[in-house]
Amino acid sequence: MTLTERTRAQPLEASIPTTTSAKAAKVGVMLVNLGTPDGTDFKPMWRYLREFLSDPRVIELNKLIWYPILYGPVLTFRPSKSGANYAKIWNRERNESPLLTFTRSQGEKLAAALRDLPNVTVDWAMRYGNPSTGSVVRKLVERGCDRIVTFPLYPQYSATTTATANDQLFRALMKMRRAPAVRSVPPYYDEPIYIDALATSITRHLESLDFEPEMILTSYHGIPKPYSDKGDPYRRHCLETTRLLREKLGWSEDRLITTFQSRFGAQEWLQPYTDKTVEKLAHDGVKRIAVVNPGFSSDCIETLDEIGREVRDEFLGAGGEKFSHIPCLNDSAEGMAVIETLTRRELSGWV
């Protein structure tokens, strides 16, 4: 049976055995993504942004300095603005964000792919928002899982993503009298199967276009430069991803370049900035570009709206003529092959 046949969307409960040996260890697999608001109106956006921007891994400023800013201008004005942007990409059929739609599908397809492992239960959670990490961990333990493999869906490591996802898991475990054993899937930015999946996805997308891009940008979510200066390996992981991808595709450094997006606040972030880069490219006479987001496992507000709308408009407004956003791996066959392969590796010895 092929991976595609095994990963057709099926209920998550399909992975839960009806009967198991009393001595058989039950293992939970939990996919963890960044998170999403419950809606686009002011209140759900306010709750989501408050949780996200209160995380000391994300904003390292002293609370005495940051909280008056957060609970003042940020949470007064940003929920409406962010909500309007989310509304442009919202999955109205399910009344949820695309990130939630894709993450659920990834969980369902992984559950179907692991049906040959009867003592493995698959679920999914969000670091911020719902379903919360704590609620899913409790659910897995209630189902009898005494071991959990957590899979932060971030190819490149950063304290602002992978570390805080693991922090939240252990906060939940701290409240349990009998906590399960835990393994965390490590960053996979240089895994051959991940690079192969990206290369296949990019090649297929470019073949579908009616134009040939002169340049392709690998745009990663940025982090403040001081975080990188203090030792966060994220920038190095991003650059290595692009290098390996360039090597796999057989492209030159001039054809595939690295940029960073989504900066927030006044401090310097990792450079070069995506928006400034596309403006400069257009002013320098580059007319056709494509942008891919290797740092995101699923399309979300930062890819669909920030890149697909804002950066596109900036490039065309500066004189560019053709622009295309290359979708993330999402729940594609290539994307699911990455998730399944790494999950099976971490399950080794437990099942």
> Token digits for 343?
């999950």
Contact 30, 150 (CB under 8 A): yes
If one compares 301 and 17, the residue with the highest pLDDT of the two is 301
Q: Listing from the earlier edge strand, what are the strands of the sheet with 288-292?
A: 256-261, 215-221, 288-292, 322-326
Mean predicted confidence (pLDDT) in 156-179: 97
For residue 223, the one-letter residue type is I
pLDDT of 122 strictly over 90: yes
Q: What is the pLDDT of residue 119?
A: 95
Closest CA to 35 of 160, 156, 138, 141: 160
Q: What is the pLDDT of residue 266?
A: 84
The overall average pLDDT reported for the chain is 94
**Contacts with 307 (C-beta within 8 Å, 6 or more apart), sequence order:** 219, 261, 274, 291, 293, 325
344 vs 29, 115, 121, 183, CA distance in Å?
Answer: 10, 12, 13, 12
pLDDT band at 25 (very low <50, low <70, confident <90, very high): confident
* CA 4 centroid distance within chain: 22
Number of C-beta neighbours around residue 253 at 10 A:
10
pLDDT of 247 strictly over 70: yes
DSSP 318-333: TT--EEEEEPP-TTSH
Segment holding 257, helix H or strand E: strand 256-261
pLDDT of 11 strictly over 70: no
Mean predicted confidence (pLDDT) in 333-337: 98
Q: 3-state DSSP call for residue 194?
A: helix
Mean predicted confidence (pLDDT) in 35-48: 98
Cα separation of 136 and 12, whole Å? Answer: 13
DSSP 36-64: E-S-SSHHHHHHHHHHHHT-TTT--S-HH
What are 52-80's pLDDT values in tens digits?
A: 999 999 999 999 999 999 999 999 999 99
Cα separation of 20 and 118, whole Å? Answer: 8
Q: What is the pLDDT of residue 239?
A: 98
Mean predicted confidence (pLDDT) in 4-20: 42
What are 76-102's pLDDT values in tens digits?
A: 999 999 999 999 999 999 999 999 999
Q: What is the pLDDT of residue 265?
A: 84
If one compares 20 and 182, the residue with the highest pLDDT of the two is 182
pTM for the model stands at 0.91
pLDDT of 9 strictly over 70: no
Residue recorded with tokens 């930015």: 189
pLDDT of 3 strictly over 70: no
Cα separation of 164 and 166, whole Å? Answer: 5
Contact 271, 224 (CB under 8 A): no
pLDDT of 22 strictly over 90: no
